[in-house]
Structure 1
Amino acid sequence: MKKRLDDLIDVLSLSTDERSTHHALLSFAEQCGFDNFAYVNVRAGDTEAFSSYPQEWQDIYFANQYQTVDPVITFAKRLLKPFHWSAPLWWSSSPEERKFYAHARQFGIVSGLSMPIPTEFGRTAILTLASKLPDFRFEGAIDDIRAATATAMVHTRLKGADPLIMRRPDVSLSVREKECLGWAARGKSMSLIADILGIKKVTVRYYLDHARRKLEANTTSNAIYLATRRGLI
C-alpha cells in the first residue's frame, strides 16, 4: 500500500485537470483491488463530492440527503485516520442508516477503506475506496502519513474544480441574497451595501443571515467561500 500511495501522490502532483485526477484515482482504486473511489469534502450539512460511482447513485445520494446519515462520513469525522468499513458497521445503526446501506448495496457499495483529514473552516475531506465484496480489506498496514498526504493532494487538486464537476446538494439564493453576499465579498460593510442597494442595514443583515442559513455557514466569510465554490456569486 505504501508504494501505491507514493505512486498516487506522484501522479496527482502532475495532474492538470479534473479528468486526469479522476483517472489517477480510479486507477489507484482498481490497483488496490477496489471497484470505485469517492472524494467527499463535508462540513455539517454541506457536502461536495467527486467520484466514479454510477451517476444514478450520485443523484439518489443527494436527492435523499444521504450525506446527513452516511455512517462513513460520521466515522471519518470522528476518527480522522484511515479505517476499513463494511456491513457490520450498520448492524446496530438507526433505521435511516440501514435504509441508506441497503440502497448503497444495490450499486455495489458494500465495503471499503476511507482516509479522512481535517481541512479549512472545520471541514473534513475523505478519500474512499469502495468494493462490492461483503468485507473487502486491503492486505497490509495503511501508512497514516501517506494516506493523509494523498487525501490532501486530492483536496488541493479539486479545491478549484469547476462547480459543474463537483456534486453537491442543490442550494439556491435569491437575487438580494446574491447581491448582499457579492458586495460583502468585495469587502463592503453592511452600511455600504445598504446604501448601494437602496435598502436598510437591517434588511442587508436579514439577507446575509438567510444566505448563511441556506449554505449552513457559521460566518459571512464562510458563506462567501461556499457561495463562490458553488458558482452562486
Structure 2
Amino acid sequence: MDLKTWFQRLTDVTSAARTQEVLRDALPDLVEELGFDCYAYLYIQPSRTYAYSNYSPEWLKHYFDSDYTTIDPVVKTASTTLRPFTWCSGGSRHSETKEVRRFYSEAGDFGIRSGISIPIRTACRHMSMLTLASSKPSLTLDKDIDQIAAVTAVAFLHAKLEEHNAKPTAQPTFELTAKQTLCLKWSAEGKPMKSIATLENMSFATVNFHLNNARKVLDAGSLAQATALATKLGLI
C-alpha cells in the first residue's frame, strides 16, 4: 500500500470510529498494514504533553518520567519544520549529544529505530504529531510523503481524539502536596489569596508560597493556568 492511499485509509477509519475504543483498536492493524510496528500520537503543549499510543507501557513511562520530550530529536525536528519527515536512530552520530545517543539507544531497546512523523499545528499554537515507528534500523520510501494527504489525515485524527476527549495512554505525572492541592482548590473556586489565608488560617505569605510552588510543579506560567491545568488533570 502506498502512503497516499494509507493516509486516506487513516481518514476513513478515523471517520468511522464512533468511540475512542473503536479507534484505539483499529489503529494498530492499520499501522501494521503499512509495514510499521507501532504508532504514537503526541499532543505537545508548553505545560503538558500526552501520548495516545501502542508503544510499550514501560517505554512510555520511562519517556515521560525522564522528560524526554525535551530531548527527543524527532519532536525537535517536528517543532522546527512542521513538515512530514522520515527519521532513523542511525543518523549523524558524530553531531549528536550524549543524551540523544542514550535516547536512541533506549528507544531501540523497545524496537523503535526508524519511522515517519507528521506534525501539525493545533489550537492555541500548540503542536501535535503522529509517528509511525519501525524496528528496522533505517527506512526507505518509494516516493516522497504527500504532505497534503499526510497533514489532512493527522488533522482529522486530532479532531476525532479531541471530539472523543480520548484518555491518554501516558502523560507526565504531577505530585502536589496536600497544602498545594487545597490552595489550588480554593483558587479554582474563585477565592483570592487573602480569602484563602483567612479560610485556612494561614498567613498570606504561606498561601502565596504554596500556590507559587504548585505553579512551578505544573510548569504553569500563571496561577490561572495552574488552576486550569490542575482541574483538567483531575488533581483538584
Q: Does the 8 Å contact 1:112/1:137 carry over to 2? A: no
Shift of 1:109: 0.7
Partner Cα distance (1:80, 1:4) in 2 = 20
Q: Is the deviation greater in 25-34 or in 9-18?
A: 9-18
How many Å apart are 1:115 and its aligned residue?
1.0
1:66 paired residue number: 68
Q: CA deviation at 1:53?
A: 1.2
Question: Structure 2 vs 1, CA of residues 55 and 173 (structure 1 numbering), >3 Å: closer, same or farther?
Answer: same
Contact 2:47/2:220 (8 A) holds in 1:
no
Residue 31 (1) aligns with residue 36 (2): no
Which residue among 118, 122, 125 is the counterpart of 2:121? 118
2:223 aligned residue? 220
Structure 1, unmatched stretches of 5+, are: none
Give the CA deviation at 1:90. 5.2
Letter in 1 for 2:61: D
2:6 to 4, 8, 11: 4
Which residue does 2:104 correspond to in 1?
Answer: 101
The one-letter amino acid paired with 2:63 is Y
Deviation at 1:135, TM superposition (A): 1.7
Aligned mate of 2:78, from 76, 84, 98: 76
How many corresponding residue pairs?
A: 231
Q: Is the 8 A contact 2:82 2:121 kept in 1?
A: yes
Q: How does the TM-score come out when normalised to structure 2?
A: 0.84
- Residues 151-162 of structure 1 correspond to what in structure 2 (within 5 A)? 151-159=154-162, 160-162=165-167
Q: 1:54 aligns with which of 41, 51, 56?
A: 56
Report SS of the residue matched to 2:133: strand
Task: Work out which of the two has the higher radius of gyration on C-alpha atoms and give 1 or 2.
Answer: 2
In structure 1, the partner of 2:235 is 232
TM-score by length of 1: 0.85
**Aligned residues of 2:90 and 2:137 also touching (Cα < 8 A):** no
The RMSD of aligned alpha carbons is 2.5
Q: Give 3-state SS (helix, strand or coil) of 2:176's partner.
A: coil
How far apart, CA to CA, are the structure 1 residues paired with 2:155 and 2:198? 42
Separation in 1, partners of 2:145, 2:90: 21
By how many angstroms is 1:99 displaced? 0.8
Pair 1:87 & 2:89 matched: yes
CA contact (8 A) 1:69 1:97 kept: yes
Contact 1:90 1:98 in 2 (8 A): no
Structure 1 residue 176, shift from structure 2 partner: 2.3
Structure 1 residues 141 and 64, CA gap change in structure 2 (3 angstroms): same
Q: Secondary structure at the match of 1:50?
A: strand
- 1:190-229 to structure 2, matched below 5 A, reads 190-229=193-232
Change (3 A) 1:201 1:154: farther
- SS of the equivalent of 2:35 reads coil
Give the counterpart letter for 1:175 in structure 2.
Answer: A
Evaluate the alpha carbon distance shift between residue 184 and residue 11 of structure 1 in structure 2; reply closer, same or farther with a 3 A threshold: farther
